[in-house]
């Protein structure tokens, strides 16, 4: 039985992801007893549009063409439409650090008001992004951060300990007895993967529940499906007693599950962590994977863009303790490191394999 808040979040997730018309969403919100002022706020904060109208947002993903960032772009577009801003989506087609830095440099002469970006490297983008900030741009990172000098705000999917818990819970859902595990990252310098692995190590060290999981190596697959497949296949050959691959990469996850399937290791080795529902349904259905986690990319892009526009318009003060009420998401607070968390973690299992039916993670 869903409680009222879960019901409201389920309705809102459905309309955000195209599974429900706005009219049906409105009927559901009224039936749930949501006040009209709250509904009006969720519909887009029209009072703010006069302050943000005409602002130019440049959305730079890690690379274009990947469904995660396309969904985040849809959320960013929604925020811009609601607030009267203009969105430009631009990036490289592959995970190319130098190419991404060049994209930033190309944007600077266009005098952007807001740059919303997921960075491929923690340090390389900082000079260009710092220059953009000096020229008046507000820089909001999401998904993967840069060093603080390069941005105003980082919108994180959740505190890193929450991310670590989601991945370790998913690991145990696949392999209840734990076992030897390998962490898969794109490169050694992607900020969120560094922080995720540290949080995982810290949680294993302090919580007996996860001590059965033993990480024996870290391997790099460059957010590339073919390399992820090859890395996973080679690792299983090198470690016959391997039980788990764990990764925060939505590209590596399905590729590693395919490697497990193709090499006949279903039920012996599992690949989990974070992944996209559209790429993982077949592996849940066939039992290659039993559980993985994620958050809504749509909400991610929406919140990062919404916050960036409010900061630029002077309607959100980027300081520790400042709070922002993000439509359809809720109130979020900026911490001492200028980070605000989406904090909407979901578990995906067989029968709960899309954003509308996924199981919310309890605290």
CA dist., res. 20 & res. 12, Å (int): 9
Whether the per-residue pLDDT at 280 is higher than 90: the answer is yes
Q: Read off the pLDDT of each residue in 338-363 and give the average, rounded to a whole number.
A: 92
Instruction: Decide: 324 and 310 in contact? Cβ < 8 Å.
Output: yes
Q: Which CATH architecture has domain 53-157+296-343?
A: 3-Layer(aba) Sandwich (3.40)
pLDDT band at 1 (very low <50, low <70, confident <90, very high): very low
- Phi, psi (5° rounding) for residue 138? -90, 130
| 322 exposure class (CB count in 10 Å sphere: 0-12, 13-18, 19+) | middle
User: What is the location of CATH 3.40.50.2300 in the chain?
Assistant: 53-157+296-343, 160-294
pLDDT band at 114 (very low <50, low <70, confident <90, very high): very high
Whether the per-residue pLDDT at 298 is higher than 70: the answer is yes
Structure tokens at 6: 């879960």
Residue 254's pLDDT is what? 98
- For residue 318, give the 3-state DSSP assignment: coil
Lowest mean pLDDT among 8-17, 258-267, 340-349: 8-17
Whether the per-residue pLDDT at 55 is higher than 90: the answer is yes
Q: Which residue has the tokens 């039980």?
A: 243
CA dist., res. 163 & res. 195, Å (int): 10
Lowest mean pLDDT among 6-10, 162-166, 224-228, 308-312: 6-10
- For residue 292, give the 3-state DSSP assignment: strand
pLDDT band at 31 (very low <50, low <70, confident <90, very high): confident
Contacts of 166 (CB under 8 A, 6+ apart): 158, 274, 293, 345, 347, 361
pLDDT band at 24 (very low <50, low <70, confident <90, very high): confident
Residue 201's pLDDT is what? 98
Residue 270's pLDDT is what? 98
Whether the per-residue pLDDT at 282 is higher than 90: the answer is yes
Residue 50's pLDDT is what? 64
pLDDT in tens, 240-251: 999 999 999 999
Whether the per-residue pLDDT at 47 is higher than 50: the answer is no
CA dist., res. 154 & res. 249, Å (int): 19
Percent residues over pLDDT 70 in the chain = 90
pLDDT band at 25 (very low <50, low <70, confident <90, very high): confident
CA dist., res. 150 & res. 140, Å (int): 9
Sign of CA dihedral 256, 268, 180, 354: positive
- More reliable by pLDDT, 289 or 13: 289
Mean pLDDT taken over the chain: 92
Which residues face 86 on adjacent strands? 56
Q: Which residue has the tokens 């690949």?
A: 271
Q: Which CATH number fits domain 160-294: 3.40.630.30, 3.40.50.2300, 3.90.1150.10, 3.30.360.10?
A: 3.40.50.2300
Contacts of 119 (CB under 8 A, 6+ apart): 62, 100, 125, 141, 144, 145, 146, 150, 190, 191
Q: Read off the pLDDT of each residue in 82-106 and give the average, rounded to a whole number.
A: 97
Whether the per-residue pLDDT at 105 is higher than 70: the answer is yes
């Amino acid at each position: 039985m869903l409680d009222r808040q879960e019901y409201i979040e389920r309705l809102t997730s459905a309309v955000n992801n195209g599974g429900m018309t706005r009219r049906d969403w409105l009927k559901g919100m009224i039936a749930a007893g949501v006040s009209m002022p709250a509904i009006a706020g969720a519909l887009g904060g029209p009072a703010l549009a006069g302050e943000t109208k005409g602002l130019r947002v440049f959305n730079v993903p890690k690379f274009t063409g990947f469904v995660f960032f396309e969904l985040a772009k849809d959320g960013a577009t929604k925020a811009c439409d609601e607030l009267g801003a203009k969105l430009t989506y631009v990036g490289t087609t592959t995970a190319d650090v130098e190419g991404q830095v060049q994209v930033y440099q190309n944007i600077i002469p266009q005098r952007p008001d807001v740059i919303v970006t997921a960075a491929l490297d923690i340090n390389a983008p900082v000079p260009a992004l710092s220059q953009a900030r000096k020229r008046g741009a507000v820089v909001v990172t999401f998904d993967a951060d840069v060093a603080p000098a390069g941005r105003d705000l980082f919108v994180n999917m959740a505190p890193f300990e929450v991310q670590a818990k989601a991945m370790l819970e998913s690991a145990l859902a696949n392999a209840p007895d734990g076992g030897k595990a390998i962490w898969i990252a794109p490169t050694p310098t992607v900020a969120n993967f560094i922080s995720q692995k540290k949080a995982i190590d810290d949680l294993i060290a302090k919580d007996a529940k996860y001590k059965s999981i033993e990480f024996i190596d870290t391997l790099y697959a460059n957010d590339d499906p073919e390399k992820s497949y090859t890395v996973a296949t080679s690792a299983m050959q090198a470690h016959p007693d391997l039980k788990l691959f764990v990764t925060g990469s939505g590209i590596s996850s399905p590729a590693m599950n395919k490697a497990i399937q193709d090499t006949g290791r279903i039920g012996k080795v599992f690949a989990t962590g974070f992944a996209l529902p559209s790429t993982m349904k077949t592996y849940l259905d066939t039992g290659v994977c039993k559980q993985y986690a994620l958050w809504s990319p749509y909400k991610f892009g929406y919140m990062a863009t919404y916050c960036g526009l409010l900061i630029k318009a002077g309607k959100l003060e980027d300081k520790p303790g400042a709070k922002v009420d993000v439509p359809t998401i809720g109130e979020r607070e900026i911490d001492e490191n200028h980070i605000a968390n989406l904090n909407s973690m979901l578990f995906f299992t067989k029968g709960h394999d899309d954003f509308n039916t996924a199981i919310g993670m309890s605290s």
